[in-house]
Amino acid sequence: MGTITDLQGTFKLHNGVQMPYFGLGVYLSKDGNEVISAVRDALNHGYRHIDTAAIYKNEQGVGTGLRESEVDREDVFVVSKVWNDDQGYDSTLKAFDASLERLGMDYLDLYLIHWPKGELSKDTWRAMERLYHEKRIRAIGVSNFLKHHLEDVMTGAEIVPMVNQMEFHPYLVQQDLMGFCTQNKIQYEAWSPMMQGKIFDMDEFRKLGEKYNKTAAQVVLRWDLQKGVVTIPKSSKKERIIANADIFDFELSPEDVQLLDNLDKGHRFGPDPDNFDF
């Protein structure tokens, strides 16, 4: 894990690529003006990492937002994901081309398998390895993969996934999975860091917010980074996008990091990677 310095700071992936540890998630941001202005505002404020997915149906807006910003494409870390229906070797190659076309880009910085689909994910991974070797993606990884899913895809794989994007928050720490990822140099990344807004009703966050003179959101996002976890809070409101990034002028004490770790209940707000039907 690198030092946490500022909004454009990075963690280094195992292939040497620098991944900005703070980004904008665009899940549920509507394609068109909503996502275009969110991406443009974030980039113009200093964000350098945008995370989308084919299933979000807003890749086109993400590409437009980037082009309308003051930032060059090569200075932004752009992530998308292959959806479950498109998994498999040939269909992944096609899905990747379709994502690039919608984004209006000729390469991606990171491409992820969105959910584990057993044997099919091994074929998907081979396609992603090919795209990586062809230098059309700078890094490849997975999302929602538990330890056994990772072990499965790594069996026979040429390249170990560089990233695993998981539901991650104080109620779902999955320290064992984090340990496995660290051991295999797989960068851990959080989705749903704010527990679908539940952190705003919790005493622990209210007290820490008062202590550090920060919002609950800022406290949890700082906790992510201090845990060595990349985080991509979603917002389409300019003020919130700016406020979320205001986490580089304070540091949680080790005791307070531990206090949040201790809230772990193994509780998911999203689907269980071992039991989902889409």
The single-letter code of the amino acid at 99 is: S
Q: Which one from 56, 111, 132, 188 is the annotated catalytic residue?
A: 56
pLDDT at 178: 98
CA-based nearest residue to 181, from 141, 219, 221: 141
Angle, CA of 6, 11 and 14, to the nearest 5°: 170
Distance CA 48, CA 233 (A): 13
Distance CA 160, CA 139 (A): 10
CA-based nearest residue to 257, from 215, 210, 208: 208
pLDDT at 156: 86
| Cβ atoms of 256 and 208 closer than 8 Å | yes
3-class SS string, the chain: CCCCCCCCCEEECCCCCEEECECEECCCCCCCHHHHHHHHHHHHHCCCEEECCHHHCCHHHHHHHHHHCCCCHHHCEEEEEECHHHCCHHHHHHHHHHHHHHHCCCCECEEEECCCCCHHHHHHHHHHHHHHHCCCECCEEEECCCHHHHHHHHCCCCCCCCEEEEECECCECCHHHHHHHHHCCCEEEEECCCHHHHHHHCHHHHHHHHHHCCCHHHHHHHHHHHCCCEECCECCCHHHHHHHCCCCCCCCCHHHHHHHHCCCCCCCCCCECCECCC
On whether the pTM is more than 0.95, the answer is yes
Tracing tokens 């928050």 back to the chain, one arrives at: 169
Q: Domains, the chain, ranges and CATH?
A: 20-261 (3.20.20.100)
pLDDT at 1: 58
Work out the end-to-end distance of the chain between its first and last CA atoms, rounded to an integer number of angstroms: 34
Distance CA 21, CA 9 (A): 6
| Positions in the chain whose pLDDT score sits under 50 | none
> What average pLDDT does the structure give for the chain?
97
Known catalytic residue: 56? yes
